[in-house]
Amino acid sequence: MGGNIDLTNVVINLLSNPLFTNAISTVLSPMLSQSLTSDVKNVVNDAVQNAFKSLTDQIENETCRIDSNEMKIAELTDENNELRNRVDRAESRVEEVNARIEELEQYGRRNSLRFHNVQVADPNDTDSVVVQICKDKLNVDITPDDICRSHVVGRPNRAGKSQIICRLRNWKVKNRIYSQKKKLKNDQSRIFVTEDLTRYRQAVVSEVVKAKRAEKVTSFWTNDGRIFIKTSEGGQKFLIESIDDLNYYAPPSNEFAMEVGQSHSSDARQ
């Protein structure tokens, strides 16, 4: 029994011996390092591959979503363009209908005239007032039978004078009177005659008056409801059917654009 070796003590002594542990470390260290490096590489590669696959899947999903959204956007864009075209066509038709209605309305006024700045003693007897104006100031002989109807429009002005609208029996009588309106230009009573225009054409005439005051228009007049201007003495006449037409032939200046709208009665007499 005394010859037996205590292995436990031998191992403990060896592990406690610095020379032994140094020798073991020298042998095992490269082996462990190589093994750990390989394991780390494998772990890193697996992690990178998993992350890359996840990222690739996300990119593919987002690409599919983008493609789907782009298709929806394209479809919505086509629908929007179609709706816009429909709206444009509808607006064009509305403009055409409105133009026809406005034209018909003006046609219905073709035999009517307006007498401005008229002293009216009896609002119920305007026919005789119109007959007298035509005879005394225009040298045109008409009778009450030439008048379908006449009446005062609105309230008297500050001078107590009124506007009379008069519908004549036919266009010939109306034209006989209207063709002599220039005789009223220097009349002391300041009476003047205009055609009976639609509200839209009255608004256009109002802008023409502003242009004349701004010296963009030298003269203007109406004939059978149509509005004409000249931009120079003896120059070409232009038919004005809208404000755009006016701005084209008589471009507004800054002063003209800032001008406050006023009554065009004094200019309309010219």
Average pLDDT, stretch 169-182?
A: 96
- Alpha-carbon distance of 33 to 64, in angstroms, equals 46
Summarize the confidence of residues 52-64 as an average pLDDT: 82
Give the pLDDT score at 197.
Answer: 97
Determine the structural domain holding residue 218 and report its residue range. 198-270
Model confidence at 37: pLDDT above 90 = no
Contact 151, 164 (CB under 8 A): yes
Claim to verify: residue 11 and residue 70 sit in the same structural domain: yes
Average pLDDT (138-146) is 97
- Is there a single domain that holds both residue 9 and residue 63? yes
Residues 5 and 91 in one domain: yes
Within this chain, do residues 52 and 9 fall inside the same structural domain, yes or no?
Answer: yes
Averaged pLDDT of the chain: 86
Residues 171, 77: one domain? Answer: no
Give residue 36's pLDDT: 62
The residue from 196, 215, 230 where one domain ends is 196
Do 50 and 98 fall within a single domain?
Answer: yes
Q: How many Cα atoms sit within 13 Å of 191 on the Cβ side?
A: 23
122 with 209, same domain: the answer is: no
User: Do 166 and 84 fall into the same domain?
Assistant: no
Q: Which residues contact 113 (CB under 8 A, 6 or more apart)?
A: 165, 166, 168, 174, 177, 178, 193, 194, 195, 196
Q: Of 154, 177, 196, which residue constitutes the final position of a domain?
A: 196
Residues 192 and 203 in one domain: no
pLDDT, residue 40, reads 60
| 89, 162: one domain | no
Average pLDDT over residues 146-166: 95
What's the rounded Cα separation, in Å, for the pair 82 and 96?
21
Domains in the chain: how many in total? 3
Q: What is the DSSP letter of 194?
A: E
**pLDDT for residue 78:** 92
Please tell me whether residues 134 and 104 are part of one structural domain.
no
Give the pLDDT score at 158.
92
| 12 in the same domain as 51 | yes
* Of the candidate ranges 40-49, 55-64, 96-105, 214-223, the one whose mean pLDDT is the lowest: 40-49
Q: Count of CB atoms within 10 A of residue 127's CB?
A: 20
Q: Give the domain-ending residue among 43, 74, 108.
A: 108
Q: What is the CATH classification number for the domain harbouring 147? A: 3.30.70
